[in-house]
Structure 1
Amino acid sequence: MTNSIIEGAGDISTATEYPAGLVFDAAFDEFSVRLKTLPGREMRFDIADGPFARTETVRFDVTTVRPGVFLVSWQEASRATVVHLEDFVQMVLHSYATLPDGRFLKMQAPIRMVGQGTGAAQ
């Protein structure tokens, strides 16, 4: 899969730093989410419908696995923990979440880029 280039911005598939200003969607079987990376290692996610519906801004940690592939993790206000493998080379998001009640979700969805920033989120 391709389409990791947004007009006027660089190619995220070759990035070695996780950029601020990314906006992308992922449609999992369980829910759909829009994620936006913000400066200062913050991310806002918006789940519009279903039992997980909410908008929240979280602080995250990130590790560059290789250019265009990032391991991103955070803890939500509910105490849910989330780990993403965000692969902007293959344009796929692998998401693992432990919910406050102990349920574990393992999800995968294509990444659909909506917008792309140029500054580092760090």
Structure 2
Amino acid sequence: MNLSIDHFPVGLELDVSYPNFTASLSLLSTTQLKFEIKEGPLAHIEIVDIHVVPLGNSLFTVSWQEKDGATVTNVQDFDRGLIHSHATLRTASSCG
């Protein structure tokens, strides 16, 4: 089965809530997104290269690494309007 990236919703903007912060994502293309964390010690804006894997229907895995070494993997379910996310964040000692 050859799943297509054609249905990845380029141009969509969405918010993802984590326990301690919210990130706003803008899907710029199938290879880049922009995120913004507006408040707290992790606050910043960055454009990152992404790896998108279609899982079927409107379901995609999207992953990236940030400049500070943080990594994020999302399972984005656009049929249900849900994002399941896992992030490994920079350590507190590198927050500055």
Q: State the TM bucket, normalised to the shorter chain.
A: 0.7 to 0.9
TM-score with structure 1 setting the length: 0.65
Q: Is the 8 A contact 1:16 1:66 kept in 2?
A: no
Which of 25, 46, 52 in structure 2 is aligned with 1:56? 46
State the 1:88 CA deviation.
1.2
State the 1:23 CA deviation.
0.7
Gaps of 5+ in 2: 92-96
Name the CA distance, whole Å, in 2 between partners of 1:43 and 1:21.
Answer: 9
Matched ranges for 1:1-122 at <5 A: 17-39=7-29, 41-101=31-91
State the 1:67 CA deviation.
1.1
Gaps of 5+ in 1: 1-14, 102-122
Name the CA distance, whole Å, in 2 between partners of 1:16 and 1:89.
Answer: 15
Cα gap change, 1:63 to 1:27, in 2 (>3 Å): same
Cα gap change, 1:43 to 1:67, in 2 (>3 Å): same
Cα gap change, 1:94 to 1:59, in 2 (>3 Å): same
State the 1:100 CA deviation.
3.2
Runs of 4+ in 1 over 2 A off after TM superposition: 26-29
**Identity among equivalent pairs (%):** 36
Q: What's the C-alpha RMSD, in Å, of the aligned pairs?
A: 1.7
For 2:76, the aligned partner's letter is E
For 1:19, the aligned partner's letter is P
TM-score with structure 2 setting the length: 0.80
Cα gap change, 1:47 to 1:96, in 2 (>3 Å): same
